Structure 1
Amino acid sequence: MAFLRPVNPSADTPALDHVFRVTAGPAFKSEPATTIGSNMFCHPYPFLAPDTCFVLDSGSGEAVGYILGTPDTTDFARRWRVDFTKTLDQKPPQGMRRPPDYDAEGIARPKAEEDFPAHLLDLLYNRPEDLLNLNVPMLGKRYAAHFHVDILPSHQRQGWGRKMVELMLDSLKAKGAKSVFLGMEAANESAGKFYDAMGFSMLLKVLDESANGEKGETNGGGNGTIFLIKDL
């Protein structure tokens, strides 16, 4: 019988990669984007924030889903630069070569639409702050914590998503987080209804913290992404 448990950073890594490969969007379905994506969205969290990382265990020790987060995104990005990128250099898999420091060398950054893998590597090694959406107003300050969750199709629509999010919110709160955010595809109506039922709302662009009563417009991260927020 399936159950939730803390992540095992070493033993669970292959399963986390598998869940990512199966559930990732079309842009990450081919190599080297798949491997780079796993190193962006799976590997840093058990390494840097194991206390707020959990897996859905099939009952036989295999992770069939994960929810990975951190109570402090800004500090997470700092430690990503200082500590996590060192692990990438130790034994880089195919397609994971370290990119140049574009700013220091005066080289134009690769654009996602022109060289997607090179763009991902730039984010992974050079710009974790942008990858973690810290360039969006209020994220990382007003809403410090964040998480993301993926579950294999075999275990979806069984109530595990709610249980995993509830566990994550309790864990983030226990770590001192006052609020949390996550990114979601704007077109994902089912996920939108799910998070709405769990008390999340859209992060809005406003000029004066809504002092004038206006709600503002949807705050997106590009590529059809919107941000959802919740106070803890």
Structure 2
Amino acid sequence: MTAAVRPFGPAVVRPFHPADLPGMYRVCLGTGDSGRDATPLYRDPDLLGHIYTAPYPAADPALTFVATDELGPLGFVVATADTYSFEEWQEENWWPGLRARYPSALAVDPEDGTHDWRRVDHLQRTRPHHDDLYVRHPAHLHIDILPRGQGSGLGRRLMSTLTTALRDRGVPGLHLGVGSGNPGARAFYLAVGFTELSRQEWGSQMVMTLD
């Protein structure tokens, strides 16, 4: 007789706690290939999290929210209320340590299918830059949810929690980019109130007005 599988209870969405960070790194890697598991693509399993997860709660922990269940973190949303100020903060406080840890010599394709070199190239080259988009939509976000949390309304709960926090600060709007290889994410963002500002070969630039 096959043992019954006990379903997990509903995920809890709550503010970030520093103890969440290792689990958030795992979520980031587990969704880092356009929503699919990116583990086979990275020699360093922490590299994606260093870039797309950890700097946000380090800079402004009040705009990070985590979804947890019996197994731990299964999703999160991280954001900044002011993209340009966040980029300046990263340039001063975040990138120097990573640039020393991942020197430019590692930004060379080893031709083995791994993507670490792309991320190293990104962290070495990125610099603060002004964009007209930031005037009306200064905030931006990243949201990741593991498969066990998808299709349950969890994405909407995380997004609603974040947008409420941004509105409470008087932030007028937010933006994000979604890759062309992730049509499900694009459909989700349209469903929760984003509009497509532009579409390029790499994907879509999307915005949401909050005021």
TM-score (norm 1): 0.73
Q: Residue 174 of structure 1 aligns with which residue? A: 168
Q: 1:43 aligns with which of 37, 54, 75?
A: 54
Cα deviations across residues 11-46 of structure 1 (Å, max 9, x unaligned)?
111101111121110794333364221111111111
Asked if 1:32 is matched to 2:43, the reply is: yes
After superposition, where does 1:35-114 map in structure 2 within 5 Å? 35-59=46-70, 62-86=72-96, 88=98, 96-99=101-104
> Any idea what SS the aligned residue of 2:132 has?
coil
> Any idea what SS the aligned residue of 1:140 has?
helix
Rounded to whole Å, the distance in 2 between the matches of 1:118 and 1:203 is 30
Gaps of 5+ in 1: 101-109, 205-217
- Shift of residue 116, structure 1, vs aligned partner: 4.7
Matched residue count = 196
Q: 1:63 to 1:159 in 2, by over 3 A?
A: same
Gaps of 5+ in 2: 1-8
After superposition, where does 1:149-228 map in structure 2 within 5 Å? 149-204=143-198, 218=199, 220=200, 222=201, 224-228=202-206
C-alpha contact (below 8 Å) 2:75/2:145 kept by paired residues? yes
C-alpha contact (below 8 Å) 2:42/2:115 kept by paired residues? no
Paired letter, 1:75:
S
Asked if 1:17 is matched to 2:25, the reply is: yes
Superposition CA RMSD, Å: 2.9
Cα deviations across residues 125-174 of structure 1 (Å, max 9, x unaligned)?
44154xxxx57x53333321011111111111111111111111111122
Rounded to whole Å, the distance in 2 between the matches of 1:87 and 1:174 is 33
Cα deviations across residues 59-107 of structure 1 (Å, max 9, x unaligned)?
56x2111100111010000000111235547xx8xxx42337xxxxxxx
Asked if 1:140 is matched to 2:134, the reply is: yes
C-alpha contact (below 8 Å) 2:31/2:38 kept by paired residues? no
Asked if 1:3 is matched to 2:12, the reply is: yes
Q: Residue 3 of structure 2 aligns with which residue? A: none
Rounded to whole Å, the distance in 2 between the matches of 1:27 and 1:178 is 34
Rounded to whole Å, the distance in 2 between the matches of 1:119 and 1:188 is 19
TM-score (norm 2): 0.79
Paired letter, 2:141:
F
Paired letter, 1:12:
D
